[in-house]
């Protein structure tokens, strides 16, 4: 099973990805994570305006079998959530790096993004 690890993103060991555009970061879970979960049936998202710390559990993704916490890889304020994924959780499986994203943060500390794993380092972690 070869999971996609796109270039241009940063990754958390806990299988979230971060795409930085200006001072806004889009966050989702990786292709590897959705493969492991399979059949995502429910996504719970944080409230817009919530301040989250790096490593804080702030969303939940549920497959048929289990509920898993999603940790924000970086600190910041939630400025948008993906209501499409709440309505259609299968987007996490079909488009984990695009329409299946979870939420967007106004980044508090850009250095936290730099400290995340590079695509190469994450690929090595998952053995891809």
Interacting residues toward another protein by CB under 8 A: 1, 38-39, 41-42, 44, 60, 62-65, 67
What is the edge-to-edge ordering of all strands in the sheet holding 40-44?
40-44, 57-63, 67-71
Provide, rounded to whole angstroms, the least separation between the CB of residue 39 and another protein: 4
Provide, rounded to whole angstroms, the least separation between the CB of residue 90 and another protein: 10
Question: Is 44 or 77 the residue whose CB approaches another protein more closely?
Answer: 44
Contacts of 54 (CB under 8 A, 6+ apart): 72, 73, 74, 75, 112
Q: What Rg, from alpha-carbon coordinates, does the chain have?
A: 13
Question: Is 30 or 68 the residue whose CB approaches another protein more closely?
Answer: 68
The total number of residues shown for the chain amounts to 128
How does DSSP classify residue 38? -
Provide, rounded to whole angstroms, the least separation between the CB of residue 67 and another protein: 7
Q: Cβ–Cβ contacts within 10 Å for residue 117, how many?
A: 19
Provide, rounded to whole angstroms, the least separation between the CB of residue 38 and another protein: 4
Question: Is 56 or 62 the residue whose CB approaches another protein more closely?
Answer: 62
Place of tokens 């996504």: 43
Question: Is 42 or 120 the residue whose CB approaches another protein more closely?
Answer: 42
């Amino acid at each position: 099973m070869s999971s996609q690890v796109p270039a241009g993103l940063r990754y958390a060991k806990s299988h979230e990805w971060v795409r930085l555009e200006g001072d806004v970061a889009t966050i989702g879970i990786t292709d590897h994570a959705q493969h492991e979960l399979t059949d995502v049936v429910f996504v719970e998202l944080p409230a817009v305006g919530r301040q989250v710390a790096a490593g804080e559990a702030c969303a939940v993704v549920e497959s048929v079998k289990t509920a898993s916490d999603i940790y924000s890889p970086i600190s910041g304020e939630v400025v948008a959530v993906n209501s499409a994924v709440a309505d259609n959780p299968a987007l996490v499986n079909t488009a984990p790096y695009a329409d299946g994203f979870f939420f967007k943060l106004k980044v508090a500390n850009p250095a936290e993004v730099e400290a995340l794993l590079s695509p190469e380092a994450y690929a090595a972690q998952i053995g891809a």
